[in-house]
A = this chain, B = another copy of it.
């Protein structure tokens, strides 16, 4: 067994020993959801004050409003009753450190076979029906406030998202732990 796997299972044993959350209901008690980055330095439960059972947390590279993040948020609303959503990107994000071109180079040999395959992988960037196989949109970030605004706008404009859901836009500062509002994004997120 790997060192990491062993450590995770030992930590889980400790968690189980003190576990007192058996009676939590499936729908988030505080009826909200957070979309944020997978970055290891971010702990949304800590930076936003969540206990188990409080809120849905969706995370991916960048905290981007990808189709899959929107799938998750729509399920969060339609089936599990969340009524407010946060989009929280962060300073010093890895998604600012590279470009689609760099990533394409890094993946060059693999990408020879990565267009449309049996497992359903395809090319978000080029769009459905495209025959350009080599371009994947890695959803990189140039400016945090702009990426938050772009994602709030994408969520609000999405045909499956109800107009009455407020979406708040924030940037988490990894040097201070602070949530910094992106006022244009929060304003856009409130508009119906």
Binding site for B on A (CB under 8 A): 2, 4-5, 7-12, 14-16, 19, 21-22, 24, 26-33, 38-43, 45-50, 52-61, 66-72, 74-76, 78-80, 84, 86, 92, 94-95, 97-98, 103, 106-107, 110-111, 113-114, 116-117, 119-124, 127-130, 136, 138-139, 154, 157-160, 166, 168, 174-179
**8 closest Cβ contacts across the A-B interface?**
A11-B49, A68-B68, A19-B177, A28-B40, A61-B72, A114-B159, A66-B68, A59-B59
Closest B residue to A118 using CB positions: B157
Contact residues in B for A60 (Cβ distance below 8 Å): 58-60, 68-69, 71-72
Given contacts A5-B168, A66-B68, A176-B19, are A48 and B12 in contact (CB under 8 A)?
Answer: yes
Contact (Cβ within 8 A) B84 A5: yes
Contact (Cβ within 8 A) B79 A94: yes
Interface of A is mostly: loop
**A105 smallest CB distance to B (angstroms):** 10
Contact residues in B for A86 (Cβ distance below 8 Å): 8
Contact (Cβ within 8 A) A128 B136: no
Closest B residue to A93 using CB positions: B26
Contact residues in B for A79 (Cβ distance below 8 Å): 94, 97-98, 103, 106
Contact among B28, B33, B110, B179 with A12 in the assembled complex (CB-CB below 8 Å): B179
Given contacts A24-B174, A121-B70, A176-B22, are A45 and B45 in contact (CB under 8 A)?
Answer: yes
